[in-house]
C-alpha cells in the first residue's frame, strides 16, 4: 500500500504533501468515487478551478465523503 509522504506543521500536526489534480474529471458524471477513494487514502488537497468547472461538484463530493474539515 502506498503511504502519502507528509510534512510536519508548526503546531505538530502532519499534512500530506501530494494533491489530486481534478482538471479532466468529468463534471457531469461527478467525482464522488474518485474523491471518496482519495480521502480514504489520505489525500486532503484537491486541485480545482473555475476554469475546470468542477469546484462546486468537488465541494459537494467532499461533503459526502465524510472527511471532517477540522
Stretch 7-34: mean pLDDT: 84
Q: Does residue 60 lie in a domain region?
A: yes
Q: Does residue 11 lie in a domain region?
A: no
State what percent of residues in the chain have pLDDT above 70: 91
Burial class (CB in 10 A: 0-12, 13-18, 19+), 5: exposed
Burial class (CB in 10 A: 0-12, 13-18, 19+), 47: middle
Q: Does residue 9 lie in a domain region?
A: no
Please report the pLDDT score of residue 12 as a whole number: 96
Q: In 1-70, which residue ranges form alpha helices assigned H by DSSP?
A: 32-40, 55-65
Q: Does residue 28 lie in a domain region?
A: yes
Please report the pLDDT score of residue 28 as a whole number: 60
Place of cell 502506498: 2
Total number of domains in the chain? 1
Q: Does residue 70 lie in a domain region?
A: no
The pTM of the whole model exceeds 0.75 = no
Give the CA distances from residue 19 to residues 1, 48, in Å, rounded to whole numbers and listed in that order: 17, 11
Say yes or no to pLDDT of 32 above 90: no
Mean pLDDT of the chain: 84
Q: Does residue 53 lie in a domain region?
A: yes
Range of the domain at 42: 16-65
Amino acid at each position: 500500500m502506498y503511504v502519502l509522504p507528509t510534512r510536519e506543521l508548526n503546531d505538530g500536526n502532519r499534512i500530506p504533501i501530494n494533491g489530486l489534480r481534478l482538471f479532466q474529471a468529468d463534471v457531469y458524471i461527478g467525482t464522488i468515487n474518485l474523491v471518496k477513494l482519495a480521502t480514504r487514502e489520505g489525500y486532503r488537497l484537491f486541485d480545482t478551478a473555475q476554469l475546470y468547472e468542477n469546484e462546486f461538484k468537488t465541494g459537494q463530493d467532499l461533503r459526502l465523503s465524510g472527511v471532517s474539515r477540522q
